[in-house]
């Protein structure tokens, strides 16, 4: 009979025999965490209608998950190192599942945002725990392959989130996209007890709580400033958050440099492998999340695909990530980290830049090749970059290393949606303004004029708003003739907006590839490899 596994890997004779099954549990846990970020993009239209969400409300429904998720990962990773990595995973799954239950029962904007924040806290506990448990469970010779599977899961979840949400929305309300996480989290928790060995850093000293507080304030303020500033303007709140993040970062670095047992050894960020790899991960997920954000809207609101069909049409991205990961496992040992990571970034940048050719007449095939190239680039680059980050930290700091890697992923995703989404929204509004100015709103008076003015404002705010307004116009004899014209104008404007956002994302990724190529070192010499292995070895799991 299968029982709870209580023997740490460090006390086993030889490698843990069921380590690949354990990896499956870790990847399942990671899957629901990343999917929760992308599934909501597909569910957003239904939520907007049911809860009467404003654009501001919808943004914080999405980003209520992101802020605690990004802010807490580093601290929770270290806490898991100190006390129990598997215990952290189980706790995170419990919190995440609890937040999902709250979300499935929510019927107000406040309740949904609260549920998303609870899930974000759970995700911040889960994600670094999966990576630190992976590294602690696998012998060094197999870690690159295991990390490749972990990294592929991150990429796959970006595309699988919309697919699962779309499938559920075919016959259920948006609340099902929350509730589906509960049985998955429960299965992952039970399987973790049976298959994932317990692990902690025996040599870990007292936790640097002040450093932890500073990291939470710094990252949380930075993510808030990015979201609020780019979406709603750089008012007092966004600027204040940005200033807080800058001051917090200075205090954090100063404190960590003088602390005998820092939360994060910031000197390691000065290592070319760590700095270059972290930048690569951040930029790749900036491009990935930003692209999914606007491609999903194109599929639903312009091409008229259902939520399920949208998820199906994103599957080539998921398949390409898998292909890229397999390819990475073959070329990385031969070509080294720098060549593999930079090649993946260049391929991904090429995919994003191809979307600058999109216009109002573009169809699905115009997005297929860009999505495939983006997926291959992610799969090729993320695994060796993550391996480089984790390989430059001792066993006692695996949680901090995982927190750093995962923070780069989440910060990159936040930047992608915020910055590319801001470029998208601005370009769309500018392009459709001319058409909206030709509508005969001035001929109306009284209540009709007010309703028409509101409809024009909604249609000018987003392509989703234009789609809703066009549906209402088609049912009104007075404006029915304008319905298709509005859809055509919105599709054209959104196509131009995608081209502008893709140019920004592709250039950022391309310039980043050049910087990463200059920062990452070439293949290390034998003496450097032996020296690094000697430095990192010998610390208990």
Note the pLDDT tens digit of each residue in 331-356: 999 999 999 999 999 999 999 999 99
CA distances to 43, 437, 451, 453, 454 from 447, rounded to whole Å, are 32, 19, 6, 10, 11
Helical H segments across 299-397, by residue range: 307-313, 315-354, 365-391
Distance, first Cα to last Cα, the chain? 27
Whole-angstrom distance, CA of residue 288 vs CA of residue 344: 13
Q: How far is CA 274 from the centre of its chain?
A: 20
Q: How far is CA 4 from the centre of its chain?
A: 32
**What local confidence, expressed as pLDDT, does residue 522 receive?**
79
Percent of the residues in the chain that have a pLDDT greater than 90, as a whole number: 47
To 5 degrees, how large is the angle CA 417–CA 29–CA 378?
45
pLDDT band at 529 (very low <50, low <70, confident <90, very high): very low
Give 109-142 as a DSSP string: HHHHHHHHHHHHHHHHHHHHHHHHHHHHHS-HHH
pLDDT band at 371 (very low <50, low <70, confident <90, very high): very high
Q: Which of 316-330, 400-414, 444-458, 503-517 has the lowest mean pLDDT?
A: 444-458
pLDDT band at 535 (very low <50, low <70, confident <90, very high): very low
**What local confidence, expressed as pLDDT, does residue 239 receive?**
95
Q: Encode burial over 86-97: b for 16+ CB neighbours within 10 A, e otherwise.
A: bbbbbbbbebbb
Residue count (the chain): 541
Q: Are 395 and 136 in contact (CB under 8 A)?
A: yes
Whole-angstrom distance, CA of residue 50 vs CA of residue 383: 40
Q: Is the pLDDT of residue 444 over 60?
A: no
**What local confidence, expressed as pLDDT, does residue 22 receive?**
95
Q: How many C-beta atoms lie closer than 10 Å to residue 344's C-beta? A: 27
CA-based nearest residue to 82, from 499, 397, 301:
397
**What local confidence, expressed as pLDDT, does residue 2 receive?**
58
Percent of the residues in the chain that have a pLDDT greater than 70, as a whole number: 91
Give 306-318 as a DSSP string: -HHHHHHHTHHHH
- Mean pLDDT of the chain, nearest integer: 86
Q: Is the pLDDT of residue 159 over 80?
A: no
Q: Pick the more confident residue, 245 or 475.
A: 245
Q: Are 337 and 381 in contact (CB under 8 A)?
A: no
Note the pLDDT tens digit of each residue in 247-286: 999 999 999 999 988 988 888 888 999 999 999 999 999 9
**What pTM, to 2 d.p., does this model score?**
0.85
CA-CA-CA-CA dihedral for 213, 214, 217, 223, to nearest 10: -120
**What local confidence, expressed as pLDDT, does residue 477 receive?**
65
Whole-angstrom distance, CA of residue 468 vs CA of residue 325: 40
Whole-angstrom distance, CA of residue 165 vs CA of residue 45: 12
Whole-angstrom distance, CA of residue 337 vs CA of residue 150: 17
CA distances to 163, 274, 425, 458, 479 from 470, rounded to whole Å, are 26, 50, 19, 11, 9
Q: Are 176 and 164 in contact (CB under 8 A)?
A: no
CA distances to 40, 204, 212, 470 from 261, rounded to whole Å, are 39, 8, 12, 60
């Amino acid at each position: 009979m299968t029982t709870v596994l209580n023997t740490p890997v460090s006390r086993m004779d030889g490698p843990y025999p069921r380590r690949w099954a354990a990896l499956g549990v870790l990847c399942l846990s990671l899957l629901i965490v990343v999917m929760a970020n992308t599934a909501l993009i597909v569910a957003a239209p239904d939520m907007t209608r049911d809860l009467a969400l404003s654009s501001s409300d919808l943004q914080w429904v999405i980003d209520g998950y992101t802020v605690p998720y990004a802010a807490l990962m580093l601290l929770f990773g270290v806490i898991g190192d100190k006390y129990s990595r598997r215990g952290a995973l189980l706790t995170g799954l419990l919190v995440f599942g609890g937040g999902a239950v709250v979300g499935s029962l929510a019927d107000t904007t406040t309740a949904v945002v609260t549920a998303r924040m609870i899930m974000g806290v759970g995700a911040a506990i889960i994600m670094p725990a999966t990576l630190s448990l992976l590294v602690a469970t696998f012998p060094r010779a197999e870690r690159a392959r295991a990390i490749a599977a972990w990294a592929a899961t991150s990429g796959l979840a970006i595309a699988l989130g919309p697919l699962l949400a779309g499938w559920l929305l075919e016959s259920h309300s948006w609340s099902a996209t929350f509730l589906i996480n509960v049985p998955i989290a429960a299965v992952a928790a039970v399987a973790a007890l049976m298959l994932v060995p317990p692990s902690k850093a025996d040599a870990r000293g007292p936790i640097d709580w002040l450093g932890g507080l500073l990291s939470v304030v710094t990252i949380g303020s930075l993510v808030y400033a990015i979201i609020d500033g780019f979406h709603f303007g750089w008012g007092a709140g966004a600027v204040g958050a940005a200033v807080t993040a800058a001051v917090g970062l200075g205090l954090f670095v100063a404190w960590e440099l003088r602390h005998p047992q820092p939360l994060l050894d910031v000197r390691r960020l000065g290592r070319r492998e760590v700095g270059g790899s972290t930048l690569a991960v951040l930029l790749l997920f900036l491009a990935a999340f930003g692209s999914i954000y606007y491609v999903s809207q194109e599929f639903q609101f312009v091409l008229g695909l259902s939520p399920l069909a949208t998820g199906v049409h994103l599957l080539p991205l998921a398949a390409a990530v898998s292909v890229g990961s397999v390819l990475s496992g073959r070329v990385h040992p031969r070509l080294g980290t720098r060549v593999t990571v930079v090649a993946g970034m260049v391929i991904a940048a090429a995919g994003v830049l191809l979307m600058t050719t999109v216009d109002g007449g573009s169809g699905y095939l115009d997005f297929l090749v860009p999505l495939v190239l983006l997926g291959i680039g992610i799969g090729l680059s993320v695994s060796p970059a993550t391996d480089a980050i984790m390989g430059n930290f001792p066993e006692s700091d695996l949680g901090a290393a995982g927190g750093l890697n995962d923070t780069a992923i989440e910060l990159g995703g936040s930047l992608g949606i915020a910055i590319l989404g801001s470029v998208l929204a601005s370009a769309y509004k500018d392009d459709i303004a001319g058409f909206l100015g030709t509508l005969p709103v001035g001929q109306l008076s009284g209540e009709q004029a007010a309703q028409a003015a509101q409809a024009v404002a909604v249609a000018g705010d987003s392509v989703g708003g234009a789609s809703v307004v066009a549906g209402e116009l088609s049912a009104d004899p007075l404006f029915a003739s304008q319905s298709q014209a509005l859809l055509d104008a919105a599709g054209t404007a959104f196509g131009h907006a995608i081209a502008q956002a893709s140019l920004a994302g592709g250039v950022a990724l391309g310039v980043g590839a050049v910087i990463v190529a200059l920062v990452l070192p070439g293949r290390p010499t034998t003496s450097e490899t032996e020296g690094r292995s000697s430095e990192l070895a010998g610390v208990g799991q």
